[in-house]
Structure 1
Protein backbone atom coordinates (compact mmCIF):
# COMPACT_ATOMS: atom_id res chain seq x y z
CA UNK A 1 0.00 0.00 0.00
CA UNK A 2 2.73 2.44 0.97
CA UNK A 3 4.79 1.67 -2.14
CA UNK A 4 1.74 2.24 -4.35
CA UNK A 5 1.14 5.60 -2.65
CA UNK A 6 4.74 6.68 -3.20
CA UNK A 7 4.49 5.57 -6.83
CA UNK A 8 1.27 7.56 -7.39
CA UNK A 9 2.71 10.69 -5.77
CA UNK A 10 5.78 10.43 -7.97
CA UNK A 11 3.60 10.21 -11.07
CA UNK A 12 1.57 13.23 -10.00
CA UNK A 13 4.73 15.28 -9.41
CA UNK A 14 6.12 14.26 -12.79
CA UNK A 15 2.81 15.14 -14.48
CA UNK A 16 2.71 18.56 -12.83
CA UNK A 17 6.32 19.23 -13.84
CA UNK A 18 5.52 18.34 -17.45
CA UNK A 19 2.50 20.67 -17.43
CA UNK A 20 4.57 23.52 -16.00
CA UNK A 21 7.33 22.90 -18.55
CA UNK A 22 4.76 22.88 -21.36
CA UNK A 23 3.19 26.17 -20.20
CA UNK A 24 6.58 27.85 -19.82
CA UNK A 25 7.62 26.62 -23.26
CA UNK A 26 4.46 28.00 -24.86
CA UNK A 27 4.93 31.35 -23.10
CA UNK A 28 8.57 31.49 -24.18
CA UNK A 29 7.65 30.80 -27.82
CA UNK A 30 4.83 33.38 -27.75
CA UNK A 31 7.13 35.97 -26.19
CA UNK A 32 9.95 35.27 -28.62
CA UNK A 33 7.59 35.66 -31.57
CA UNK A 34 6.27 39.02 -30.31
CA UNK A 35 9.69 40.37 -29.27
CA UNK A 36 10.83 43.54 -31.06
CA UNK A 37 13.92 44.56 -29.08
CA UNK A 38 17.16 42.76 -28.31
CA UNK A 39 17.75 42.88 -24.55
CA UNK A 40 20.84 40.69 -24.83
CA UNK A 41 19.36 37.49 -23.39
CA UNK A 42 16.72 35.13 -24.87
CA UNK A 43 14.64 35.02 -21.69
CA UNK A 44 14.54 38.82 -21.48
CA UNK A 45 13.54 39.00 -25.14
CA UNK A 46 10.69 36.56 -24.45
CA UNK A 47 9.52 38.67 -21.50
CA UNK A 48 9.67 41.75 -23.75
CA UNK A 49 7.39 40.02 -26.24
CA UNK A 50 4.93 38.92 -23.57
CA UNK A 51 4.85 42.46 -22.21
CA UNK A 52 4.02 43.83 -25.66
CA UNK A 53 1.17 41.33 -26.02
CA UNK A 54 -0.09 42.16 -22.52
CA UNK A 55 0.01 45.94 -22.99
CA UNK A 56 -1.59 45.88 -26.44
CA UNK A 57 -4.30 43.32 -25.73
CA UNK A 58 -5.15 43.81 -22.04
CA UNK A 59 -4.48 47.54 -21.71
CA UNK A 60 -5.34 48.34 -25.35
CA UNK A 61 -2.20 50.44 -25.68
CA UNK A 62 -2.18 52.89 -28.58
CA UNK A 63 0.86 54.96 -29.37
CA UNK A 64 2.39 57.18 -31.98
CA UNK A 65 5.83 56.33 -33.30
CA UNK A 66 8.26 57.36 -30.59
CA UNK A 67 11.01 59.58 -31.95
CA UNK A 68 13.94 57.63 -30.54
CA UNK A 69 17.15 57.82 -32.56
CA UNK A 70 18.09 54.47 -34.07
CA UNK A 71 21.46 54.58 -32.35
CA UNK A 72 23.26 56.66 -29.76
CA UNK A 73 22.34 57.86 -26.31
CA UNK A 74 18.92 59.35 -25.62
CA UNK A 75 16.83 60.43 -22.63
CA UNK A 76 13.16 59.48 -22.46
CA UNK A 77 10.94 61.48 -20.09
CA UNK A 78 7.28 60.94 -19.29
CA UNK A 79 4.55 61.83 -16.83
CA UNK A 80 4.14 59.23 -14.09
CA UNK A 81 0.58 58.12 -13.32
CA UNK A 82 0.97 54.50 -12.11
CA UNK A 83 3.23 51.50 -11.64
CA UNK A 84 2.17 50.31 -15.09
CA UNK A 85 3.90 53.20 -16.87
CA UNK A 86 7.32 51.54 -17.49
CA UNK A 87 5.66 48.49 -19.06
CA UNK A 88 3.67 50.68 -21.45
CA UNK A 89 6.73 52.71 -22.42
CA UNK A 90 8.81 49.58 -23.05
CA UNK A 91 5.99 48.13 -25.18
CA UNK A 92 5.97 51.26 -27.36
CA UNK A 93 9.71 51.61 -27.91
CA UNK A 94 12.04 49.90 -30.37
CA UNK A 95 15.08 50.11 -28.10
CA UNK A 96 15.74 48.88 -24.56
CA UNK A 97 15.00 51.47 -21.87
CA UNK A 98 17.09 51.72 -18.71
CA UNK A 99 14.90 53.27 -16.04
CA UNK A 100 16.06 55.33 -13.10
CA UNK A 101 14.02 53.98 -10.18
CA UNK A 102 13.97 54.37 -6.41
CA UNK A 103 16.24 51.88 -4.67
CA UNK A 104 13.40 50.62 -2.49
CA UNK A 105 11.52 49.66 -5.68
CA UNK A 106 14.66 48.20 -7.26
CA UNK A 107 15.11 45.90 -4.26
CA UNK A 108 11.45 44.88 -4.05
CA UNK A 109 11.23 41.17 -3.26
CA UNK A 110 10.25 39.07 -6.26
CA UNK A 111 11.08 41.78 -8.81
CA UNK A 112 14.74 42.55 -8.11
CA UNK A 113 15.99 39.85 -10.49
CA UNK A 114 13.95 41.29 -13.36
CA UNK A 115 14.73 44.95 -12.65
CA UNK A 116 18.42 44.11 -12.50
CA UNK A 117 18.16 42.05 -15.69
CA UNK A 118 16.69 44.92 -17.72
CA UNK A 119 19.36 47.31 -16.46
CA UNK A 120 17.37 49.57 -14.14
CA UNK A 121 19.50 52.14 -12.31
CA UNK A 122 18.63 52.41 -8.59
CA UNK A 123 18.46 55.88 -7.04
CA UNK A 124 19.29 56.17 -3.36
CA UNK A 125 17.03 59.13 -2.59
CA UNK A 126 17.92 59.17 1.11
CA UNK A 127 21.66 58.77 0.59
CA UNK A 128 23.68 59.71 -2.49
CA UNK A 129 21.37 60.12 -5.51
CA UNK A 130 24.26 61.61 -7.52
CA UNK A 131 25.70 58.10 -7.89
CA UNK A 132 22.69 57.11 -10.01
CA UNK A 133 23.14 60.20 -12.18
CA UNK A 134 26.77 59.32 -12.79
CA UNK A 135 25.79 55.77 -13.77
CA UNK A 136 23.09 57.12 -16.08
CA UNK A 137 25.63 59.46 -17.67
CA UNK A 138 28.01 56.55 -18.21
CA UNK A 139 25.43 54.44 -20.06
CA UNK A 140 24.26 57.44 -22.10
CA UNK A 141 27.82 57.95 -23.30
CA UNK A 142 27.88 54.26 -24.23
CA UNK A 143 24.93 54.89 -26.55
CA UNK A 144 22.08 53.51 -24.44
CA UNK A 145 18.63 54.96 -23.71
CA UNK A 146 17.84 56.16 -20.18
CA UNK A 147 14.23 56.68 -19.12
CA UNK A 148 13.04 58.68 -16.12
CA UNK A 149 10.03 60.41 -14.63
CA UNK A 150 10.97 64.06 -13.92
CA UNK A 151 8.21 64.46 -11.34
CA UNK A 152 10.06 61.94 -9.19
CA UNK A 153 6.88 60.24 -7.97
CA UNK A 154 3.42 59.41 -9.27
CA UNK A 155 1.82 62.74 -10.13
CA UNK A 156 -1.71 63.00 -11.54
CA UNK A 157 -3.05 65.88 -13.60
CA UNK A 158 -5.49 66.89 -10.85
CA UNK A 159 -2.73 67.08 -8.22
CA UNK A 160 -1.11 70.37 -7.17
CA UNK A 161 1.73 71.46 -9.48
CA UNK A 162 5.09 69.90 -8.73
CA UNK A 163 8.41 71.26 -9.93
CA UNK A 164 10.31 68.90 -12.22
CA UNK A 165 13.63 67.57 -11.02
CA UNK A 166 16.59 69.03 -12.91
CA UNK A 167 18.58 65.79 -13.25
CA UNK A 168 17.33 65.28 -16.79
CA UNK A 169 18.77 68.64 -17.88
CA UNK A 170 22.13 67.87 -16.27
CA UNK A 171 22.26 64.51 -18.04
CA UNK A 172 21.31 66.09 -21.37
CA UNK A 173 23.93 68.81 -21.09
CA UNK A 174 26.70 66.48 -19.91
CA UNK A 175 26.02 63.79 -22.52
CA UNK A 176 24.68 65.82 -25.45
CA UNK A 177 21.83 63.30 -25.72
CA UNK A 178 18.43 64.42 -27.01
CA UNK A 179 15.45 64.43 -24.65
CA UNK A 180 12.40 62.58 -26.00
CA UNK A 181 9.19 63.64 -24.20
CA UNK A 182 6.16 61.35 -23.90
CA UNK A 183 2.76 61.66 -22.27
CA UNK A 184 0.64 58.81 -20.91
CA UNK A 185 -3.13 58.90 -20.57
CA UNK A 186 -6.02 56.44 -20.36
CA UNK A 187 -4.49 54.30 -17.59
CA UNK A 188 -7.38 52.99 -15.52
CA UNK A 189 -5.23 52.26 -12.47
CA UNK A 190 -4.05 55.86 -12.08
CA UNK A 191 -2.48 56.52 -8.71
CA UNK A 192 -1.80 52.85 -8.02
CA UNK A 193 1.54 51.05 -8.17
CA UNK A 194 1.67 47.26 -8.56
CA UNK A 195 -2.11 46.80 -8.68
CA UNK A 196 -2.38 49.18 -11.66
CA UNK A 197 -1.21 46.29 -13.84
CA UNK A 198 -4.48 44.46 -13.10
CA UNK A 199 -6.89 47.20 -14.25
CA UNK A 200 -7.55 47.03 -18.01
CA UNK A 201 -7.86 50.41 -19.66
CA UNK A 202 -7.27 52.20 -22.93
CA UNK A 203 -3.76 53.47 -22.49
CA UNK A 204 -2.36 56.02 -24.89
CA UNK A 205 1.26 57.08 -25.21
CA UNK A 206 1.86 60.25 -27.16
CA UNK A 207 5.35 60.99 -28.39
CA UNK A 208 6.89 64.37 -29.21
CA UNK A 209 9.85 65.60 -31.19
CA UNK A 210 13.22 65.38 -29.41
CA UNK A 211 14.49 68.40 -27.48
CA UNK A 212 18.14 69.46 -27.36
CA UNK A 213 18.71 71.01 -23.95
CA UNK A 214 22.15 72.52 -24.40
CA UNK A 215 21.60 76.15 -23.37
CA UNK A 216 18.74 77.56 -21.28
CA UNK A 217 18.09 75.03 -18.51
CA UNK A 218 14.86 76.57 -17.22
CA UNK A 219 13.39 77.04 -20.69
CA UNK A 220 14.05 73.39 -21.57
CA UNK A 221 12.63 72.19 -18.27
CA UNK A 222 9.50 74.23 -18.96
CA UNK A 223 9.19 72.68 -22.43
CA UNK A 224 9.42 69.21 -20.92
CA UNK A 225 6.77 70.11 -18.34
CA UNK A 226 4.43 71.42 -21.04
CA UNK A 227 4.71 68.19 -22.99
CA UNK A 228 4.39 65.64 -20.21
CA UNK A 229 1.71 67.59 -18.32
CA UNK A 230 -0.50 67.91 -21.39
CA UNK A 231 -0.23 71.62 -22.12
CA UNK A 232 1.43 71.19 -25.52
CA UNK A 233 -1.49 69.29 -27.12
CA UNK A 234 -0.21 67.80 -30.38
CA UNK A 235 2.58 70.29 -31.06
CA UNK A 236 5.62 68.35 -32.18
CA UNK A 237 3.80 65.01 -32.02
CA UNK A 238 5.50 62.25 -33.98
Structure 2
Protein backbone atom coordinates (compact mmCIF):
# COMPACT_ATOMS: atom_id res chain seq x y z
CA UNK A 1 0.00 0.00 0.00
CA UNK A 2 2.74 2.49 0.97
CA UNK A 3 4.71 1.60 -2.15
CA UNK A 4 1.73 2.46 -4.36
CA UNK A 5 1.23 5.74 -2.48
CA UNK A 6 4.87 6.75 -2.96
CA UNK A 7 4.74 5.71 -6.60
CA UNK A 8 1.61 7.80 -7.15
CA UNK A 9 3.29 10.84 -5.58
CA UNK A 10 6.43 10.47 -7.68
CA UNK A 11 4.36 9.99 -10.83
CA UNK A 12 2.68 13.33 -10.18
CA UNK A 13 6.08 14.96 -9.63
CA UNK A 14 7.57 13.55 -12.81
CA UNK A 15 4.48 14.29 -14.89
CA UNK A 16 3.94 17.87 -13.71
CA UNK A 17 7.48 19.11 -13.04
CA UNK A 18 9.70 17.06 -15.32
CA UNK A 19 7.26 16.21 -18.13
CA UNK A 20 8.48 12.63 -18.17
CA UNK A 21 8.24 10.29 -21.13
CA UNK A 22 8.21 6.51 -20.80
CA UNK A 23 9.18 4.34 -23.73
CA UNK A 24 9.37 0.57 -24.03
CA UNK A 25 7.86 -0.33 -20.64
CA UNK A 26 6.15 -3.24 -22.40
CA UNK A 27 9.58 -4.88 -22.72
CA UNK A 28 9.67 -5.55 -18.96
CA UNK A 29 8.25 -9.06 -18.40
CA UNK A 30 4.99 -9.06 -16.47
CA UNK A 31 6.15 -11.87 -14.18
CA UNK A 32 9.26 -13.70 -13.08
CA UNK A 33 12.70 -12.53 -11.97
CA UNK A 34 13.97 -9.44 -13.80
CA UNK A 35 17.06 -7.27 -13.40
CA UNK A 36 16.63 -3.81 -14.91
CA UNK A 37 20.07 -2.31 -15.61
CA UNK A 38 20.10 1.46 -16.05
CA UNK A 39 22.54 4.36 -16.31
CA UNK A 40 22.72 6.72 -13.35
CA UNK A 41 22.69 10.52 -13.68
CA UNK A 42 20.66 11.80 -10.73
CA UNK A 43 19.44 10.86 -7.24
CA UNK A 44 15.92 10.82 -8.68
CA UNK A 45 16.77 7.91 -11.00
CA UNK A 46 15.50 5.16 -8.63
CA UNK A 47 12.04 6.70 -8.10
CA UNK A 48 11.87 7.57 -11.80
CA UNK A 49 12.61 3.96 -12.74
CA UNK A 50 10.27 2.57 -10.10
CA UNK A 51 7.44 4.92 -11.03
CA UNK A 52 7.66 4.01 -14.71
CA UNK A 53 6.79 0.35 -14.09
CA UNK A 54 3.61 -1.27 -12.86
CA UNK A 55 5.57 -4.01 -11.10
CA UNK A 56 7.24 -3.03 -7.80
CA UNK A 57 11.01 -2.78 -8.11
CA UNK A 58 13.74 -3.27 -5.52
CA UNK A 59 16.93 -1.22 -5.36
CA UNK A 60 20.30 -1.44 -3.66
CA UNK A 61 21.11 1.86 -1.95
CA UNK A 62 24.29 2.89 -0.15
CA UNK A 63 24.06 1.95 3.50
CA UNK A 64 24.80 5.49 4.68
CA UNK A 65 21.28 6.49 3.60
CA UNK A 66 19.78 4.01 6.06
CA UNK A 67 21.38 5.85 8.97
CA UNK A 68 19.16 8.88 8.33
CA UNK A 69 15.91 8.08 10.22
CA UNK A 70 13.22 9.67 8.04
CA UNK A 71 15.00 8.94 4.76
CA UNK A 72 15.61 5.35 5.81
CA UNK A 73 11.90 4.87 6.46
CA UNK A 74 10.98 6.32 3.07
CA UNK A 75 13.46 4.43 0.91
CA UNK A 76 12.71 1.12 2.62
CA UNK A 77 9.03 1.63 1.81
CA UNK A 78 10.02 2.29 -1.79
CA UNK A 79 11.79 -1.06 -2.05
CA UNK A 80 15.40 -0.19 -1.22
CA UNK A 81 17.83 -2.30 0.79
CA UNK A 82 21.36 -1.38 1.95
CA UNK A 83 24.65 -2.19 0.27
CA UNK A 84 28.20 -1.38 1.33
CA UNK A 85 29.69 0.10 -1.82
CA UNK A 86 33.23 0.04 -0.45
CA UNK A 87 33.53 -3.75 -0.48
CA UNK A 88 32.02 -6.91 -1.91
CA UNK A 89 28.85 -6.95 0.18
CA UNK A 90 27.82 -10.62 0.33
CA UNK A 91 24.80 -9.77 2.49
CA UNK A 92 23.40 -7.39 -0.13
CA UNK A 93 24.04 -9.90 -2.92
CA UNK A 94 22.26 -12.60 -0.92
CA UNK A 95 19.30 -10.28 -0.36
CA UNK A 96 19.17 -9.43 -4.07
CA UNK A 97 19.20 -13.13 -5.00
CA UNK A 98 16.42 -13.81 -2.50
CA UNK A 99 14.22 -11.19 -4.17
CA UNK A 100 14.93 -12.69 -7.59
CA UNK A 101 14.17 -16.19 -6.32
CA UNK A 102 10.78 -14.82 -5.27
CA UNK A 103 10.21 -13.63 -8.84
CA UNK A 104 10.64 -9.92 -8.12
CA UNK A 105 12.19 -7.06 -10.11
CA UNK A 106 15.58 -5.67 -9.14
CA UNK A 107 16.82 -2.29 -10.33
CA UNK A 108 20.59 -1.96 -10.67
CA UNK A 109 22.85 0.88 -11.77
CA UNK A 110 25.95 -0.98 -13.03
CA UNK A 111 28.10 2.18 -12.97
CA UNK A 112 27.85 2.03 -9.17
CA UNK A 113 27.50 5.78 -8.74
CA UNK A 114 26.08 8.83 -10.48
CA UNK A 115 27.83 10.11 -13.59
CA UNK A 116 29.21 13.58 -12.94
CA UNK A 117 29.16 14.44 -16.64
CA UNK A 118 25.97 12.68 -17.70
CA UNK A 119 28.02 10.40 -19.94
CA UNK A 120 27.81 6.64 -19.57
CA UNK A 121 30.57 5.26 -17.36
CA UNK A 122 32.08 1.80 -17.11
CA UNK A 123 29.92 -0.93 -15.61
CA UNK A 124 30.83 -3.16 -12.68
CA UNK A 125 30.32 -6.90 -13.07
CA UNK A 126 28.10 -7.30 -9.98
CA UNK A 127 24.88 -6.78 -11.90
CA UNK A 128 25.82 -9.47 -14.43
CA UNK A 129 26.68 -11.92 -11.64
CA UNK A 130 23.42 -11.30 -9.78
CA UNK A 131 21.35 -11.64 -12.95
CA UNK A 132 23.02 -14.91 -14.00
CA UNK A 133 23.07 -16.39 -10.50
CA UNK A 134 19.45 -15.34 -9.95
CA UNK A 135 18.35 -16.78 -13.32
CA UNK A 136 16.75 -13.44 -14.11
CA UNK A 137 15.94 -11.77 -17.39
CA UNK A 138 18.00 -8.64 -17.99
CA UNK A 139 16.27 -5.53 -19.32
CA UNK A 140 18.49 -2.56 -20.30
CA UNK A 141 17.15 0.92 -19.57
CA UNK A 142 18.32 4.48 -20.08
CA UNK A 143 17.48 7.72 -18.31
CA UNK A 144 17.87 10.72 -20.59
CA UNK A 145 17.91 14.04 -18.79
CA UNK A 146 18.52 16.68 -17.74
CA UNK A 147 16.41 16.90 -14.59
CA UNK A 148 15.30 20.50 -14.98
CA UNK A 149 11.85 21.83 -14.16
CA UNK A 150 9.54 21.77 -17.17
CA UNK A 151 12.17 20.04 -19.33
CA UNK A 152 11.47 16.53 -20.53
CA UNK A 153 13.07 13.57 -18.72
CA UNK A 154 12.89 10.33 -20.65
CA UNK A 155 13.11 6.73 -19.41
CA UNK A 156 13.54 4.10 -22.12
CA UNK A 157 13.43 0.31 -21.72
CA UNK A 158 14.88 -2.10 -24.26
CA UNK A 159 13.99 -5.75 -24.97
CA UNK A 160 15.38 -8.40 -22.58
CA UNK A 161 18.88 -9.56 -23.51
CA UNK A 162 19.45 -13.11 -24.69
CA UNK A 163 22.14 -14.40 -22.31
CA UNK A 164 21.55 -18.09 -23.02
CA UNK A 165 25.15 -18.70 -24.01
CA UNK A 166 26.39 -17.46 -20.65
CA UNK A 167 23.92 -19.11 -18.29
CA UNK A 168 25.15 -22.68 -18.72
CA UNK A 169 28.89 -22.03 -18.53
CA UNK A 170 31.24 -21.53 -15.63
CA UNK A 171 31.35 -17.84 -14.85
CA UNK A 172 34.75 -16.21 -14.87
CA UNK A 173 35.82 -12.61 -14.54
CA UNK A 174 36.19 -12.57 -18.34
CA UNK A 175 32.69 -13.91 -19.04
CA UNK A 176 31.12 -11.58 -16.48
CA UNK A 177 32.97 -8.70 -18.11
CA UNK A 178 31.57 -9.70 -21.51
CA UNK A 179 28.02 -9.77 -20.16
CA UNK A 180 28.56 -6.43 -18.41
CA UNK A 181 29.96 -4.85 -21.57
CA UNK A 182 26.97 -6.10 -23.53
CA UNK A 183 24.58 -4.62 -20.96
CA UNK A 184 26.40 -1.28 -21.04
CA UNK A 185 26.48 -1.27 -24.84
CA UNK A 186 22.71 -1.77 -24.92
CA UNK A 187 22.21 1.07 -22.45
CA UNK A 188 24.45 3.26 -24.60
CA UNK A 189 22.47 2.36 -27.71
CA UNK A 190 19.18 3.26 -26.00
CA UNK A 191 20.64 6.63 -24.98
CA UNK A 192 21.90 7.36 -28.48
CA UNK A 193 18.72 6.28 -30.26
CA UNK A 194 16.36 8.20 -27.98
CA UNK A 195 18.34 11.27 -27.02
CA UNK A 196 16.88 13.74 -29.46
CA UNK A 197 13.69 11.99 -30.59
User: Partner of 1:64 in structure 2?
Assistant: 23
User: Partner of 1:93 in structure 2?
Assistant: 53
Please list, as runs of the form range in 1=range in 2, the aligned pairs for 1:109-128 lying within 5 A after superposition: 109-126=69-86
Q: Considering fraction of residues, name the structure with more strand.
A: 2
1:39-96 CA distance string (max 9 Å, x none): xx2x332221121111112110001132111111100111000111112111211111
1:131 to 2:131 alignment: no
- Count of paired positions: 184
User: Partner of 2:101 in structure 1?
Assistant: 141
Q: List runs of 5+ in structure 1 lacking aligned partners.
A: 1-40, 190-198
Q: List runs of 5+ in structure 2 lacking aligned partners.
A: 167-174
User: Partner of 1:217 in structure 2?
Assistant: 176
Q: Say if 2:28 and 2:157, in contact at 8 Å, map to a contact too.
A: no
Q: Which of residues 89, 95, 113 is equivalent to 1:153?
A: 113
Q: Say if 1:172 and 1:213, in contact at 8 Å, map to a contact too.
A: no
Distance 1:163 1:57 in 2: 33
Distance 1:200 1:46 in 2: 23
- Matched residue of 1:100: which SS? strand
User: Partner of 2:136 in structure 1?
Assistant: 177
Distance 1:231 1:65 in 2: 10
Q: Say if 1:226 and 1:232, in contact at 8 Å, map to a contact too.
A: no
User: Partner of 1:17 in structure 2?
Assistant: none
Q: What TM-score, normalized to structure 1?
A: 0.70
Distance 2:50 2:37 in 1: 12
1:79 to 2:39 alignment: yes
Q: Say if 1:103 and 1:123, in contact at 8 Å, map to a contact too.
A: yes
- Matched residue of 2:85: which SS? coil
Distance 1:135 1:74 in 2: 14
User: Partner of 1:164 in structure 2?
Assistant: 123
User: Partner of 1:55 in structure 2?
Assistant: 14
What is the deviation of 1:116? 1.4
With over 3 angstroms needed to count, the CA separation of the structure-2 counterparts of 1:50 and 1:131, relative to structure 1, is same
User: Partner of 1:29 in structure 2?
Assistant: none
Q: What TM-score, normalized to structure 2?
A: 0.83
Q: Say if 2:123 and 2:184, in contact at 8 Å, map to a contact too.
A: yes
